[in-house]
Amino acid sequence: MENYPTYDIVAYSQQKNWIYLIEAVHSSGVISNVRLLELKKLTEKCQADIIFITAFLDNSTFRKFAADIAWETEVWIADAPDHIIHFDGEKFLGPYSQITDT
Protein backbone atom coordinates (compact mmCIF):
# COMPACT_ATOMS: atom_id res chain seq x y z
CA MET A 1 0.00 0.00 0.00
CA GLU A 2 2.17 2.77 -1.30
CA ASN A 3 1.94 6.17 0.46
CA TYR A 4 -0.02 4.75 3.40
CA PRO A 5 1.41 4.75 6.90
CA THR A 6 1.93 1.40 8.56
CA TYR A 7 2.12 0.31 12.18
CA ASP A 8 4.11 -2.36 13.99
CA ILE A 9 1.48 -4.26 15.97
CA VAL A 10 -2.29 -4.45 15.74
CA ALA A 11 -4.24 -6.09 18.56
CA TYR A 12 -8.00 -6.40 18.88
CA SER A 13 -10.28 -6.81 21.90
CA GLN A 14 -13.49 -8.37 20.66
CA GLN A 15 -15.13 -7.88 24.05
CA LYS A 16 -14.56 -4.11 24.00
CA ASN A 17 -14.41 -3.68 20.20
CA TRP A 18 -11.11 -1.84 20.59
CA ILE A 19 -8.15 -1.92 18.23
CA TYR A 20 -4.73 -1.24 19.70
CA LEU A 21 -2.28 0.27 17.21
CA ILE A 22 1.17 -0.13 18.71
CA GLU A 23 4.30 1.46 17.30
CA ALA A 24 7.75 0.46 18.50
CA VAL A 25 9.86 3.59 18.74
CA HIS A 26 12.99 1.80 17.48
CA SER A 27 11.32 0.91 14.16
CA SER A 28 8.57 3.47 13.50
CA GLY A 29 9.30 6.34 15.85
CA VAL A 30 6.83 7.79 18.34
CA ILE A 31 3.20 8.53 17.68
CA SER A 32 3.67 12.27 17.23
CA ASN A 33 0.93 14.75 16.34
CA VAL A 34 1.66 14.27 12.63
CA ARG A 35 1.78 10.48 12.95
CA LEU A 36 -1.47 10.46 14.94
CA LEU A 37 -3.22 12.40 12.17
CA GLU A 38 -1.88 9.92 9.59
CA LEU A 39 -3.09 6.94 11.59
CA LYS A 40 -6.50 8.50 12.19
CA LYS A 41 -6.86 9.17 8.46
CA LEU A 42 -5.86 5.59 7.65
CA THR A 43 -8.44 4.20 10.09
CA GLU A 44 -11.26 6.71 9.61
CA LYS A 45 -13.68 4.02 8.34
CA CYS A 46 -12.86 1.59 11.12
CA GLN A 47 -15.91 0.53 13.14
CA ALA A 48 -13.91 -0.24 16.30
CA ASP A 49 -12.56 2.35 18.72
CA ILE A 50 -8.81 2.79 18.44
CA ILE A 51 -6.11 3.17 21.08
CA PHE A 52 -2.74 4.51 19.93
CA ILE A 53 0.32 3.26 21.84
CA THR A 54 4.05 3.97 21.47
CA ALA A 55 6.25 1.20 22.89
CA PHE A 56 9.74 1.75 24.32
CA LEU A 57 12.40 -0.67 25.54
CA ASP A 58 13.37 1.44 28.55
CA ASN A 59 12.87 4.71 30.43
CA SER A 60 15.99 6.36 29.05
CA THR A 61 14.73 5.92 25.49
CA PHE A 62 11.30 7.20 26.52
CA ARG A 63 12.86 10.34 28.01
CA LYS A 64 14.62 11.09 24.70
CA PHE A 65 11.29 11.15 22.83
CA ALA A 66 8.79 12.25 25.49
CA ALA A 67 8.39 15.78 24.11
CA ASP A 68 7.35 14.42 20.71
CA ILE A 69 4.54 12.12 21.86
CA ALA A 70 1.03 13.20 20.86
CA TRP A 71 -1.59 13.95 23.48
CA GLU A 72 -4.43 11.44 23.84
CA THR A 73 -2.10 8.51 23.20
CA GLU A 74 -0.54 5.91 25.49
CA VAL A 75 3.04 4.85 26.22
CA TRP A 76 4.20 1.39 27.24
CA ILE A 77 7.76 0.74 28.47
CA ALA A 78 9.13 -2.82 28.41
CA ASP A 79 11.15 -2.21 31.60
CA ALA A 80 7.84 -1.64 33.46
CA PRO A 81 5.40 -3.88 31.57
CA ASP A 82 2.57 -3.63 34.12
CA HIS A 83 2.24 0.13 33.69
CA ILE A 84 0.94 2.49 31.02
CA ILE A 85 1.66 6.21 30.74
CA HIS A 86 -1.41 8.09 29.62
CA PHE A 87 -0.91 11.38 27.81
CA ASP A 88 -3.79 13.59 28.97
CA GLY A 89 -7.49 13.23 28.39
CA GLU A 90 -10.41 12.13 30.52
CA LYS A 91 -10.12 8.38 30.00
CA PHE A 92 -7.40 6.02 31.01
CA LEU A 93 -6.55 3.52 28.25
CA GLY A 94 -9.75 3.88 26.35
CA PRO A 95 -10.88 5.36 23.10
CA TYR A 96 -11.89 9.00 23.24
CA SER A 97 -14.98 8.50 21.10
CA GLN A 98 -16.74 6.94 24.10
CA ILE A 99 -16.54 10.10 26.20
CA THR A 100 -19.88 11.87 26.47
CA ASP A 101 -20.67 15.25 27.97
CA THR A 102 -22.49 15.00 31.29
Rg (CA), the chain: 13
Q: Residue 23: which of 11, 8, 10 has the closest Cα?
A: 8
Distance CA 1, CA 3 (A): 6
DSSP 68-88: GPPTT-EEEETTSTT-EEE-S
DSSP 7-44: -SEEEEETTTTEEEEEEEHHHH----HHHHHHHHHHTT
pLDDT, one tens digit for every residue, the chain (102 residues) = 445 557 789 999 999 999 999 999 988 889 999 999 999 998 999 999 999 999 999 999 999 999 999 999 999 999 999 999 988 766 665 666 655 554
pTM here?
Answer: 0.81
Half-sphere exposure of 51 (CA within 13 A, CB side): 24
Amino acid at site 45: K
Q: Is 48 left (phi over 0), alpha (psi -120 to 50) or beta?
A: beta
